[in-house]
Amino acid sequence: MRMSLNDPTFRAIFWQVVVIGGFGLIVWWLISNTLRNLEIRAIATGWDFLTREAGFAIGESVIEFEPEHSYGRALWVGILNTLRVAIVGIVLATILGTLIGIGRLSKNWLVSRACSVYVEFMRNLPLLVQLFFWWAMFQDAFPGPREALQPLPGLFFSNRGIKMPIPAEHWIHAWMGVAFLAGIGASYFMKRWAAARQAATGEQFPVFAATLGLVLGLPFVVWLFGGAPVALDWPVMRGFNFQGGLTMTPEFAALLVGLVTYTAGFIAEIVRAGILAVPHGQTEAASALGIRKGPMLQLVILPQALRVIIPPMTSQFLNLTKNSSLAVAIGYPDLVSIANTTLNQTGQAIEGISIIMAAYLTVSLSISVFMNWYNKRIAFKER
């Protein structure tokens, strides 16, 4: 390599060094300039505020939170609230989107038209508008807590949210959770064993029924061992509002419904595209081999469709998670809402924004890593 710009290797290295150096300089300039300006304006910096008492209350939380807890815990409450709506939202949007995507391919005119209208309607309205719509619906359509609608005993609809009874706290519930996880683990090994046996002997095993039995049956048996507690924690109207039971607030409900129905519109199209991407010859070939409808979908169509579906689906999951930050507009205490309050009370905007960015980046990258792993697993393997 000659030390001249006429040498291609030297030139390549030279320009890369220039670009990286320039980028580094810009970053350094931004950081030093910001720090200097913060210093000049006597604005506090650093992370000490995380351990200071927050002093504000939060409307709903997965973990216990009181005003005397720290800013750090308040932000953690925000992250958990974001995760809660994102996880439930992703599951529901996938189910709803898949149903609508399949529905759009239906031979029934009414079903396919209805699904098309749904997709076009949801995809073409801004999400924020939809959120405000659902929020206003929950607020204005339902009566106050004293006049709450009660479609079933113990189930109340009011503008304070949806209230339902939950099983009263009992020590056996933790063990039922363990049994549930054990059931999932056992089903996995049972499936592998059944596949190996079928490959060796050709004998089939009722995998689906056995899985159901393991996943639901095990916790049920544990519940019986615990003395089969049936006591319920009923919501009771006391003072201003219902006490006890499980609450779904209007803000959470509006955000969840808005995110799910909006994202489902996109997922429906992805599912439809995935199914249409499998050539019809595959179906015909499967029929020719005498494979029935159910196994055909499971063994022939879906494995090929999923290869098309998974990568764009990852984007939709990421979108849903990031869109949950619109919660701030309708008062759901998600990460952005709490971080905004924190940075406003402490004045430390840069730290607050970095926490928001770090949290979303962590969640989004985790989703990406998982989906990429899953994608690789189901990808077409050439032999």
List interacting residues with another protein (CB under 8 A). 28, 31-32, 35-36, 38-44, 55-59, 67-68, 139-140, 144, 159-160, 238-241, 243, 250-251, 328-331, 333, 337, 340-341, 344-349
Compute the least distance from the CB of residue 337 to another protein, in Å: 7
Distance (Å, whole) CA 91 – CA 119: 18
CA 314 to each of CA 84, 280, 283, 309, 365: distance values in angstroms, whole numbers, following the listed order: 18, 26, 27, 9, 11
Q: Please, where are the H alpha helices in 105-126?
A: 109-123
Compute the least distance from the CB of residue 64 to another protein, in Å: 13
Which is closer to another protein, CB of 160 or CB of 272? Answer: 160
Compute the least distance from the CB of residue 41 to another protein, in Å: 4
Token pair, residue 66, equals 């009181």
Which is closer to another protein, CB of 271 or CB of 343? Answer: 343
| Class of residue 137 by CB neighbours under 10 A (exposed 0-12, middle 13-18, buried 19+) | middle
Judged by DSSP in three states, 121 sits in helix
Compute the least distance from the CB of residue 180 to another protein, in Å: 31
Which is closer to another protein, CB of 42 or CB of 228? Answer: 42
Which is closer to another protein, CB of 37 or CB of 372? Answer: 37
Which of 284, 299, 255, 267 shows the shortest CA–CA distance to 89? Answer: 255
Which is closer to another protein, CB of 304 or CB of 340? Answer: 340
The answer to whether residues 300 and 283 touch, using CB atoms and an 8 Å cutoff, is: yes
Distance (Å, whole) CA 195 – CA 106: 32
Compute the least distance from the CB of residue 343 to another protein, in Å: 8
Which is closer to another protein, CB of 213 or CB of 331? Answer: 331
Which is closer to another protein, CB of 41 or CB of 383? Answer: 41
Token pair, residue 174, equals 């933790």
Compute the least distance from the CB of residue 44 to another protein, in Å: 4
Radius of gyration of the chain (CA): 27
Compute the least distance from the CB of residue 53 to another protein, in Å: 10
Element (H, E) at 186: helix 172-201
